[in-house]
Structure 1
Amino acid sequence: MRIVSGDFGGRRLTAVPGTKTRPTTDKVKEAVFNVIGPYFDGGLVLDLFAGSGGLGIEAVSRGADHAYLIDRQFAAIKTIKSNIAVTKQETKFSVLKSDSHKILDKFSRDGLSFDLVFLDPPYAQQKIENDILKMENLNLLGADAKIICETNLETVLSDKIGQFNVSNIKEYGITKITVYQKG
């Protein structure tokens, strides 16, 4: 696993030990950024189920200003911090151990607004849809926000969630990527 492109391109990342976390493969990561980017001119990123932190780190490597990387597992937090260290730009990242719903409430109180959101929870349709609706209701999504959902092939997400419509769906092996934008 590595950072595919950008300022930190080619640097190696480690996966979270054990089987509770599925790292996004380099092939899928590169394909995702080709669909949504591939490069950014600033912006705030949220990786709500960060695992190893690879997607948020990739977004900052490709020009995002700052990424918030959230996970509730201690092993994931430890791995994320180790992976961020390879960038030598630790100030561009905030790593928080928290439940997704609790942290969204905190972000709302802090007045944050995200431009790019990655949702790769343990495969569960309702969690993704509920999280998008909660982020929208808490005004956490910027006017041009993109939400990237990673699921298994069997998961069927709604074409429209709140004000967000599917703008792209791609399948890569056993992984499906669904991109939402305001429509």
Structure 2
Amino acid sequence: MRVVAGERKGMPLKAVTGTTTRPTTDKVKESIFNMIGPFFDGGIVLDLFAGSGGLGIETLSRGADQAIFVEKDGRAFQTLQDNLKKCRYEEVSEVYKTDASRAVKGLIKREILIDYLFLDPPYHKKEYYDLLLTLIENNKLSNEAIIVCEHATDVALPTNYGAYRLIRQETYGSTIISIYQKE
């Protein structure tokens, strides 16, 4: 794993040991950013179920101002912190070792708007996609927000989450990338 483009292009990232997370491959990551970017002029990214932090770090490298990472697995959390330190992004990152549901409740209380949301929960936990609706209903996403959901091919996500509609969907092996934007 590595940072694909931007100011930290080529920087190798540590992967989480074990089988508790599924890192997004460099090929899929590059495809995601070709669809939503490829570069950004500021903004805040929320990387729920961050794992090693590859998607959020990639967004920072490509021009986002700030990132919020949420990961509850201990090994993944340590790997995420190591990757942020290696990429020198500690100053522009908030890292929370907690459940995504609890993190979303905390975000609702803050004066913050998310511009890029990455949602990649464990494939067998489809109910975590409801967090997307919680963020939308509480006006936590900017009008230009881009939502990227990574899910298994046997998980069908709706064509709309509130005012955000599915604008693109690509399949990579057993993984689907679904991208939503406001209508």
Please, what TM-score do these two structures have when normalized by structure 1? 0.97
**1: distance between equivalents of 2:6 and 2:28?**
16
1:60 counterpart SS class: helix
Q: Are the counterparts in 2 of residues 105 and 138 from structure 1 also a CA contact under 8 Å?
A: no
Q: Which sections of structure 2, spanning at least 5 residues, go unmatched?
A: none
Show the counterpart of 1:106: 106
Measure how far apart 1:126 and its partner are: 3.0
Moved segments of 4+, more than 2 Å: none
When the two chains are superposed, the root-mean-square deviation of aligned CA atoms in Å is 0.9
Measure how far apart 1:152 and its partner are: 1.3
Q: Which sections of structure 1, spanning at least 5 residues, go unmatched?
A: none
2:179 counterpart SS class: strand
Q: Are the counterparts in 2 of residues 164 and 180 from structure 1 also a CA contact under 8 Å?
A: yes
Q: Which amino acid aligns with 2:128?
A: K
Q: Which amino acid aligns with 1:126?
A: E
**1: distance between equivalents of 2:112 and 2:98?**
16
**2: distance between equivalents of 1:94 and 1:25?**
23
1:3 partnered with 2:3: yes
Measure how far apart 1:112 and its partner are: 1.4
Superposed CA deviations along residues 145-172 of structure 1, whole A, max 9, x for unmatched, are: 1110001111110001111100100111
Q: Are the counterparts in 2 of residues 169 and 177 from structure 1 also a CA contact under 8 Å?
A: yes
Measure how far apart 1:89 and its partner are: 3.0
**2: distance between equivalents of 1:135 and 1:179?**
16
1:110 counterpart SS class: coil
Please, what TM-score do these two structures have when normalized by structure 2? 0.97
Q: Are the counterparts in 2 of residues 163 and 182 from structure 1 also a CA contact under 8 Å?
A: yes
Show the counterpart of 1:83: 83
Show the counterpart of 1:47: 47
Cα distance, 1:155–1:111 mapped onto 2, change above 3 Å: same
